């Protein structure tokens, strides 16, 4: 494989259309989480295309056991910090637990993330094509999230792989199609078998970003703290310590970016 060289303008903020163009030409999309301006700046300079301000901040930044305690005020604060730190990467922000229980609540909270936080796109968990369609119809780009849903952890009973059984896999495929039809411009698949993620990535026209979903997704996302090996808990199977062999944080992030772009990460050992 030829070494990766960027074909995307370094001078403008990336858009959903730019990510779509990457998928259309078969170029992988690199994504990492960030929660502050300093790390956001480093990720931006490394070429990371999507910065996800995830409600994972509840666990890796605030020290909670789950993402459930994260509030809208938390998300707006951290999204604003990240947005101020980068000029090129697309900033995607999570709608936190119970913040989109109705169309009106989803719209009001999405507006807060965009107007107060500077988000370019919002992300929500689960099969909610009604919410996706309403938001997109009102000018809000939406990223869906299927597979392991951290906001549903009390229903799922633990952080475990989803879609292993045929009925569950078929449901996830159906949900993915419904989100795309509703207008989602991006989809994150978390902790599903690589073969299922490959099927969905091939079936959907929109980009599919995997986390613990194998190499055949259109891109990859990981929690920044995990790849820098500074997390407080055990690093997930699907992640990798990119600080190993690196001489700086900047080099580790660059190595992750290039490994994703050149389809050298994830390997089988990071997949299900």
Q: Which tens digits make up the pLDDT trace of 122-171?
A: 999 999 999 999 999 999 999 999 999 999 999 999 899 999 999 999 99
pLDDT at 234: 79
pLDDT at 272 over 60: yes
The answer regarding whether domain 16-270 maps to CATH 3.20.20.60 reads: yes
CB-CB neighbours of 32 under 10 Å: 29
What percent of the chain has pLDDT above 90?
A: 93
Using the structure block, give the residue that is written with the tokens 């992988």.
28
- Could you give the residue numbers annotated as active site? 190
- Whole-number Å distance between alpha carbons of 76 and 80: 6
pLDDT at 11 over 90: no
pLDDT at 102 over 80: yes
- The phi, psi pair for 32, rounded to 5°, reads -140, 160
Determine the average pLDDT of the residues in 265-269. Answer: 96
Average pLDDT, the chain: 95
pLDDT at 117 over 90: yes
165 dihedral zone (left: phi>0; alpha: psi -120 to 50; beta) = beta
């Amino acid at each position: 494989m030829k070494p990766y060289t960027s074909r995307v303008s370094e001078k403008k903020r990336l858009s959903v259309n730019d990510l779509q163009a990457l998928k259309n030409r078969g170029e992988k999309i690199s994504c990492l989480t960030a929660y502050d301006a300093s790390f956001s700046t480093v990720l931006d300079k490394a070429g990371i295309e999507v910065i996800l301000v995830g409600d994972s901040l509840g666990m890796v930044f605030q020290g909670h056991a789950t993402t459930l305690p994260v509030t809208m005020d938390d998300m707006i604060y951290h999204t604003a910090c990240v947005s101020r730190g980068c000029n090129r990467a697309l900033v995607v922000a999570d709608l936190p637990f119970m913040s989109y229980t109705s169309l009106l609540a989803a719209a009001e909270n999405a507006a807060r993330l965009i107007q107060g936080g500077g988000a370019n796109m919002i992300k929500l968990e689960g099969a909610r094509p009604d919410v996706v369609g309403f938001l997109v119809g009102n000018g809000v780009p939406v990223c869906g999230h299927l597979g392991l849903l951290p906001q549903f952890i009390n229903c799922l009973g633990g952080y475990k792989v989803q879609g292993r059984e045929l009925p569950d896999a078929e449901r996830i495929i159906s949900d993915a199609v419904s989100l795309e039809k509703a207008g989602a411009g991006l989809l994150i698949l978390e902790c599903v078998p690589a073969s299922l993620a490959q099927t969905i990535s091939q079936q959907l026209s929109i980009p599919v970003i995997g986390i613990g979903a194998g190499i055949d997704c259109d891109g990859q996302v990981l929690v920044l703290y995990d790849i820098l090996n500074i997390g407080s808990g055990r690093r997930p199977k699907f992640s990798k310590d990119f600080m190993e062999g690196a001489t700086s944080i900047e080099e580790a992030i660059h190595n992750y970016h290039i490994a994703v772009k050149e389809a050298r990460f994830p390997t089988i050992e990071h997949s299900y």
